[in-house]
Each structure stands twice: as structure tokens, then as C-alpha cells.
A and B are shown apart, each in its own frame.
Chain A
């Protein structure tokens, strides 16, 4: 038993790969067989992760969810800030200056408008709720941009772990809602051409929500939505903990 424990401890990150792989696989099956593809497997896996983190927190009474359980430390390493930021940077590769030029002003305008729109909305709702410190407000506002901007902002501003978890929950909720609502509302809001898809991607920004939602609406629109949405998280990560945080500090 001791050999096994030492072995798992030494190979924590690899165990993390396996655990997350199995979780993603089960979520994909659940998505296809039970929900008939109504929700994408990735959204379910993220939700499942949050639910498991909840039970991990109950069992261990600690702060890092599932990764506080024995044998599962590697999940925390895999989902830690280093891998998180490294993979986010890699997603920039999916965009190029040329396509950005083609997306033109509309993409840029909807991108900036979308980030400001969700941030202000999120901050306002959190303020009404009674949250007053700038770092927490900023993190919640960033969370309503995407579930990546939230934790990146929260980590940069030193927000508490529960506020960061809240911002992820908000971002995940947004991704799921965009996924579900896009095919339902596409016709009504005129989302049926590449230019509209670019505006849509910039406005909503949540990468998984936009690409999954557009895939369910019209697969041909996916790259156009993704082109602007790709920049949303990066721009959000740039603006939320810097400019928006400073402006928020001045206002408060």
C-alpha cells in the first residue's frame, strides 16, 4: 500500500491527465446518450468538475475541491495557474491578423462592446447584491465575461477563492446558456450570416458557448463567431484586472 501511495504521489500530474480524461469521456457519453447533444460534452465536464469539487470540499473541508482528496493532488496541478495561462495563450494561434482585418471594425466594436457590456452588467448586479470591495466586484464582472477571464482576474487581483469559484460558476452558466439559447433565438435575432456571426462572437465572447451554440445553429458560421470570440477572453484578461479595475477603483 505504501508503495502504491508513493507511486501515485510521485506521478500526480499524470494521474490528473487520466482522471480528467475519464471525466471528459464520461461527460461526452452523457452528453450524447442522455442529453442527445443538447449540451456539449465540455460544458457537462466543466459542470461535473464543479460538482465534484463541491463534494471534495464537503469531504475534506478544505479549499481546493477535488484536488484535496488523497491521490488527486495532480488534478490541482493540471488545473493550476501555469497550465491554465499556458493553454489560454495557445488559443491565440487560432486567430490571425488577416482574419482580424477581415472582421474589421464590426468585430472590434462588438468585441469591446461585449466585454464592457457584460463587465458593467456583472459589476452592477454584484453591487446591488451588496458586494463592495473592488477586487471582488471586478472578479464577478470578469466572470460574467467568461469563466476564464473571471479566475484570471481574480487571481491577478488576489480575490478570495470563493469569489473566484463564483466567477467560474457565472462564466460556466453563461457558456451553457449561450449554447442553449443560440439555436433557439438565432432566427429571431437575425443570426444567419458571417457578419452577424462575427458580431455575435464578439458580443457573447464565451468561446465554448459561441462555438457550440453556432455549431448547433449552422456549422458554417462557427469560424466567423470563433474569430472574434477568440480575442474576447484575451482582451478581457488584459482589460479587467488593469483598466477596468483602475476605473472601478476611481468610481468606488
Chain B
């Protein structure tokens, strides 16, 4: 059933986010720290466990996959509800930070690839 996939995703999300809340409290950051990351790890562990048990079926994966594919639309909606007007006033910084590291990374890539071929 599709709802099982969604439920496992919800379980991972809630558990991970809660861990993030407590870690934030523990670190004194007053915010959720890495909740999304923990949730991802929990989801991967759940998936591995279900696979071993042989309980992972196509329907189950569809439940998670739907939300996986909704991620670009959510990002579109998120960008449509940001305070872009204010960000534009610091426009050059955005271009600077957006462009310079990417170009630098492309020139670093050959060295990383060399490392991989050793």
C-alpha cells in the first residue's frame, strides 16, 4: 500500500526532525540542527531493513517516490515566496558567490579525477 511508504517517510521525517530539535537544544543553537540530515539517514536505514526483510515492494516505493519527485515543485513554490525584492539589492554578491566557486570547482575536478584513477 502506498500509505506505508508515505508513513515510513513521515516516521523518518518526524524522528529526524525531533533529533534535530533536541540536538539544537543540546548545542544551545536554539534551532533545529541537522534534522533533515538525520531524517534522511533514518529513511535509508528503514529502507535497508525493509529490503532485508523482503517487505519492500513497488507500491511502497511509489509512496516515497511521489514526494521525491515533488521536491522540485516545492522548491519552485519556495522560491516564489521568498523575499527576493530585498535580495536584489545585494545582487552583485549573489553573482560573485554563485559564479566564482563553481568556475574554480571545474578547474579542481581534473585533480579529483586523477586521485580516483590512482
For the complex, is A183 an interface residue (Cβ under 8 Å from B)? no
User: Given that A118-B105, A158-B31 are contacting pairs, would A54 and B88 also be in contact in the complex, using a CB cutoff of 8 Å?
Assistant: yes
CA gap between A191 and B112 in the complex, in Å: 11
Residue of A93, A147, A181, A204 most packed against chain B (CB within 10 A): A93
Question: For residues 149 through 203 of chain A, which have their beta carbon under 8 Å from a beta carbon of chain B?
Answer: 151-152, 155-158, 161-162, 164-166, 168-174, 177-178, 181, 185, 189-191, 195-196, 198-200, 203
CB of A166 within 8 A of CB of B106, answer no
Q: Which residues of A are found within 8 Å of B16, using beta-carbon distances?
A: 89
- Report B93 CB to chain A, min CB distance, Å: 5
CB of B64 within 8 A of CB of A90, answer yes
CA gap between A9 and B108 in the complex, in Å: 51
CA gap between A200 and B112 in the complex, in Å: 8
CB of A90 within 8 A of CB of B84, answer no
Question: For residues 36 through 56 of chain B, which have their beta carbon under 8 Å from a beta carbon of chain A?
Answer: 36-41, 43-44, 47-48
User: Given that A24-B76, A170-B98 are contacting pairs, would A53 and B31 also be in contact in the complex, using a CB cutoff of 8 Å?
Assistant: no
- Report A42 CB to chain B, min CB distance, Å: 5
CA gap between A64 and B115 in the complex, in Å: 45
User: Given that A85-B17, A126-B97 are contacting pairs, would A203 and B84 also be in contact in the complex, using a CB cutoff of 8 Å?
Assistant: no
Number of interface residues of B (CB under 8 A): 77
Q: In the complex, how many residue pairs between chain A and chain B have their CB atoms under 8 Å apart?
A: 304
Q: Which residues of B are found within 8 Å of A114, using beta-carbon distances?
A: 105
Question: For residues 119 through 169 of chain A, which have their beta carbon under 8 Å from a beta carbon of chain B?
Answer: 121-122, 125-126, 129, 140, 143-144, 147-148, 151-152, 155-158, 161-162, 164-166, 168-169
CA gap between A113 and B40 in the complex, in Å: 20
For B84, give its contact among A76, A169, A191, A208 (CB under 8 Å).
Answer: A169
CA gap between A22 and B56 in the complex, in Å: 34
Q: Which residues of B are found within 8 Å of A223, using beta-carbon distances?
A: none
Q: Which residues of B are found within 8 Å of A89, using beta-carbon distances?
A: 9, 12-13, 16, 36, 39-40, 43, 67
Residue of B34, B39, B78, B113 most packed against chain A (CB within 10 A): B78
CB of A196 within 8 A of CB of B31, answer no
For B102, give its contact among A66, A162, A177, A237 (CB under 8 Å).
Answer: A177
Residue of B61, B71, B96 most packed against chain A (CB within 10 A): B71
For the complex, is A71 an interface residue (Cβ under 8 Å from B)? no
- Report B79 CB to chain A, min CB distance, Å: 4
User: Given that A90-B64, A90-B68 are contacting pairs, would A156 and B78 also be in contact in the complex, using a CB cutoff of 8 Å?
Assistant: no
For the complex, is A79 an interface residue (Cβ under 8 Å from B)? yes
Closest to B51 in A: A96
CB of A53 within 8 A of CB of B84, answer yes
CB of A191 within 8 A of CB of B109, answer yes
Q: Top 8 nearest A-B pairs by Cβ distance?
A: A238-B37, A173-B98, A79-B77, A57-B85, A79-B78, A162-B86, A49-B80, A90-B67
Provide 22 A-B residue pairs closer than 8 Å at the C-beta atoms, listed in order of the A residue: A20-B80, A24-B73, A48-B76, A57-B83, A57-B85, A64-B82, A79-B79, A84-B75, A90-B43, A93-B47, A93-B64, A96-B47, A140-B97, A164-B82, A165-B82, A173-B95, A174-B102, A177-B98, A190-B109, A195-B117, A238-B38, A241-B32
Q: A79-B76, A89-B43 are in contact. List 6 more A-B contacts (CB 8 A).
A: A23-B80, A78-B73, A84-B74, A93-B47, A96-B47, A147-B79
